[in-house]
Chain A
Amino acid sequence: ILNVEQSPQSLHVQEGDSTNFTCSFPSSNFYALHWYRWETAKSPEALFVMTLNGDEKKKGRISATLNTKEGYSYLYIKGSQPEDSATYLCAFIDGTGNQFYFGTGTSLTVIP
Chain B
Amino acid sequence: NAGVTQTPKFRILKIGQSMTLQCAQDMNHNYMYWYRQDPGMGLKLIYYSVGAGITDKGEVPNGYNVSRSTTEDFPLRLELAAPSQTSVYFCASSSSGNTIYFGEGSWLTVV
Do the two chains belong together in a single complex? Answer: yes
Contact residue among A1, A42, A89 (Cβ-Cβ distance under 8 Å from B59) = A1
Q: How far is the CA of A100 from the CA of B91 in the complex (A)?
A: 13
Q: Are B50 and A98 neighbours in the complex by a CB distance under 8 Å?
A: yes
Known: A98-B48, A98-B97, A100-B33. A89 touches B104 (CB 8 A): no
Beta-carbon contact of A104 and B42 below 8 Å: yes
Does A44 contact B97, Cβ atoms closer than 8 Å? Answer: no
Q: Mark B82-105, 1 if CB is under 8 A from A, else 0.
A: 000000001010101111111111
Q: Does B45 contact A (CB under 8 A)?
A: yes
Tell me if B42 and A98 are in contact (CB < 8 A): no
A80 to chain B, nearest CB (A): 23
Q: Knowing A1-B59, A103-B42 touch, does A42 contact B33 (C-beta < 8 A)?
A: no
> Which chain B residues numbered 14 to 50 have a C-beta less than 8 Å away from chain A?
31, 33, 35, 40-43, 45, 48, 50
User: DSSP class of A's interface residues: helix, strand, loop or mixed?
Assistant: strand
Tell me, in angstroms, the Cα distance from A49 to B98 when the chains sit together: 7
Inter-chain contact B97/A31, CB cutoff 8 Å: yes
| A52 CA to B97 CA, complexed, in Å | 14
Contact A32 B97 (CB under 8 A): yes
Contact of A97 among B35, B97, B102, B104 (CB under 8 A): B97
Contact partners of A103 in chain B: CB under 8 A: 42
Task: With A34-B99, A49-B99, A99-B45 given, name 5 new contacts (CB 8 A).
Answer: A43-B102, A43-B105, A89-B43, A100-B92, A102-B35
- Of the A-B pairs whose beta carbons lie under 8 Å apart in the complex, a sample of 16, sorted by A's number, is A31-B97, A32-B97, A42-B104, A43-B105, A45-B102, A49-B98, A93-B97, A97-B97, A98-B97, A100-B33, A100-B45, A100-B92, A101-B45, A102-B35, A104-B40, A104-B42
What 4 pairs across the A-B complex have the smallest Cβ distances?
A: A97-B97, A104-B42, A43-B102, A102-B43
